[in-house]
Structure 1
């Protein structure tokens, strides 16, 4: 049996971050394994038969960490990026409403605008008990008009779960809280309020899609320590070994796992944790449908980044004008453009794979952004079985039980689905979880991102972390 000091499962941002930091720390005994044929995980990119580039969802690059930004510049070079000002919009009632919706009620038809604002005022004046689930929080925070018109239908499409099954502990910087006076001023002046959020500016690779970042990261690591195309069949916690689909067994001192935590429970045979995992680790699948079009985007989409769709006439909750991110995302810039649509799926929201493409095309045609299906010259689709780690009501208590259990056996579950914390699951968060767990194991430093999301998202972090210097 081959043995290593550190075994890493998964070559997404988290696993690659861990591998890179092991190299930086001078640790030579490590191996990274991924069942895919190359690096990237959910941050991979693909090129279809017609030459259109696609991501696995609407990824954009923004960061809370100096370390991450320096790494990104190293991977692609400081000139390897396009810088963008976010233009995100809600498409509803046959019109564009700037994001965040709740800050831009002046764009609605007058009757709905007034109903939304009156509900917001009433909700703000009511001081009831703290909401214990996301649905109750929406209604008590925004009032009836905003809840029924946008927040509830949109979030049901995104999460693909009943909203009363979601907690409120994850929101932080993910949901814009309403300021009644600010909304009132917007209604009076007609001024769009679009600056909220950590991603109001972002950058994107000039070539190769998001996957180019992680391909470049992997290329800087020793090739002999990266193994692709081999799947984990079983993990023996007692003798600290992993059995692969090839039949090979690999021993480890420390295992850094980025596989979904529910899968870690399964492949390690921990049946006593299965009920807790089933109860607390909810998730949705992501269906990505890419449409490559001839011509140029319509004037209404010429500068837009992505659009949200709360209404029922489209199966997708978000569409990204992917050709606007980088001209290299299409085969003939100026003559072709692309739209990437995302459809959520779960046990509560089924998706018929046989009709998905046609359903998406019908939805796009219903918006008027594409007027003739004959302009679609390429289609591409991808299903990620694990797309969103849903912040369910029992997630935190499940994590409090399962994460320490595995750490007692030298197994450290991190990353988007390894830690299952949506609030720290972007690329920067996931990468830094890998970096930080290595710093903990090699240099006895405190992990921040995985265990203190509020602090992680509250500021920009220098390197070394400010908490390490105190």
Structure 2
């Protein structure tokens, strides 16, 4: 098979690219997807008891008019819109998110620790060399102790001292001492920060419904169950483990770039590029276990409107729980009559987890954090779980230097690596960012337009 463009992966980036190619009148391309379904990390699944689960807590918000229009065309009125209500469980109480703006909800002693850490002269005042020092400089020791340090270790499964801080941007709300004190004195909640303050969600099918519908528009252009086995950059040939061979002019890769470089890519001597392989070895990621816990609502159950909650403390394995029944009533088998808790736990070489124990520990953590009454454990009747080897691309200290080695060498071979793990830049890894990386790649290929969302320079 010969194609002008070959796209690896039918996740948000690959589908965005394929949709844009078709939109611009280009049909000389193929998408290879290793699974039997589209969506990548944005796929959704229905369990044996009729509950729908995402692979982690996705919400749809956007920085792009193009993405908004695409979503409108895919879902129309079959979506819901929510105002974010998120909380942090700390010191055996609930604190509205962002934590640093709402410390008035803490008990007196930790509340004072947080304020004391913000006072003049108490914060690290040097130039931060890593994310850990940045936390100390911006938030002070109290907020670092009660939220920022333990939470970030739980979500990244990486010590903050091994991470850079250039990725932060709009991802983390910084702190203003005057604002903090005003909120405490006036007993005012301060919860409107962030680009996902409002978000959308499909009425049916979970987040994956968006990409099922997008993939349906590309019928005939996607080859499923075709996992890449090797790429010969000299002959411009891709071979899959199922035996398919495709000749191409250019590749858009959306699979993890370290796998592309170290496992698939071969040159004229049949060996890989040692320089790229060394650079790819400096990239780090975590893995994520997603546990879905479902049960029937009883009359005495508290019906809270929370969307998702953060858990920095050690009394639970998970870093986040989503009230998935609040995203859409159709995420449960009997709408309005059941609860669905979607819980995420990270792991890595820095943070080991026994995967065979995580479901039981998750339910124990729901009890410990007041999410689930201990008397209701026996009522849990659906336990769904999945593990994701590549959960988050960690913004490690060496990431940017590694990408500056890898990306130009790939592009010299007409291979473009984009997306959450293809580009390895968490700060442009939201769903809208990922789709637009594919769209902008297609524009670059057909018209030479510059990419603006993803940049490695």
What is the TM-score when the length of structure 1 is the normalising length?
0.93
Q: Which 4+ runs in 1 deviate beyond 4 A?
A: 296-301
The answer to whether the Cα contact below 8 Å between 2:147 and 2:312 also exists between their aligned partners in 1 is yes
Query: Match for residue 438 of structure 1?
Result: 442
Q: What is the SS of the residue equivalent to 2:355?
A: coil
Query: Match for residue 461 of structure 1?
Result: none
> For each residue in 1:85-126, what CA deviation from the matched residue of structure 2 results, as whole angstroms up to 9, or x when unmatched?
000000122211000100111111111111111111236x75
Query: Match for residue 421 of structure 2?
Result: 417
- Cα distance in 1 for partners of 2:138, 2:344 equals 27
* Residue 378, structure 1, aligned to residue 378, structure 2: no
Q: What is the SS of the residue equivalent to 1:203?
A: strand
The equivalent position to 2:212 in structure 1, one of 212, 215, 218, is 215
> For each residue in 1:9-45, what CA deviation from the matched residue of structure 2 results, as whole angstroms up to 9, or x when unmatched?
0000000000001001111200001001010000000
**CA shift for structure 1 position 368:** 2.3
Q: Which moved more, 1:249-258 or 1:367-376?
A: 367-376
The equivalent position to 1:332 in structure 2, one of 328, 331, 334, is 334
- Cα distance in 2 for partners of 1:277, 1:28 equals 33
The answer to whether the Cα contact below 8 Å between 1:345 and 1:351 also exists between their aligned partners in 2 is yes
The equivalent position to 1:258 in structure 2, one of 254, 258, 266, is 254
Counting matched residue pairs gives 448
The answer to whether the Cα contact below 8 Å between 1:13 and 1:40 also exists between their aligned partners in 2 is yes
- Cα distance in 2 for partners of 1:19, 1:197 equals 30
Q: Which moved more, 1:354-363 or 1:9-18?
A: 354-363
* Residue 161, structure 1, aligned to residue 126, structure 2: no
**CA shift for structure 1 position 354:** 1.3
The answer to whether the Cα contact below 8 Å between 1:301 and 1:321 also exists between their aligned partners in 2 is no
**CA shift for structure 1 position 451:** 1.2
The answer to whether the Cα contact below 8 Å between 2:13 and 2:418 also exists between their aligned partners in 1 is yes
**CA shift for structure 1 position 334:** 2.3
* Residue 96, structure 1, aligned to residue 99, structure 2: no
* Structure 1: unaligned runs, 5 residues or longer: 454-470
The answer to whether the Cα contact below 8 Å between 1:298 and 1:369 also exists between their aligned partners in 2 is no
RMSD of aligned Cα (Å): 1.4
Query: Match for residue 397 of structure 1?
Result: 401
Q: What is the SS of the residue equivalent to 2:401?
A: helix
Query: Match for residue 78 of structure 2?
Result: 80
- Cα distance in 1 for partners of 2:331, 2:202 equals 10
Q: What is the SS of the residue equivalent to 1:447?
A: coil
Query: Match for residue 269 of structure 2?
Result: none
Q: What is the SS of the residue equivalent to 1:387?
A: coil
- Cα distance in 1 for partners of 2:29, 2:298 equals 48
Q: What is the SS of the residue equivalent to 1:386?
A: coil
The answer to whether the Cα contact below 8 Å between 2:403 and 2:456 also exists between their aligned partners in 1 is no
* Residue 278, structure 1, aligned to residue 278, structure 2: no
> For each residue in 1:354-409, what CA deviation from the matched residue of structure 2 results, as whole angstroms up to 9, or x when unmatched?
11111111111112221120121100001111010000001001111101100001
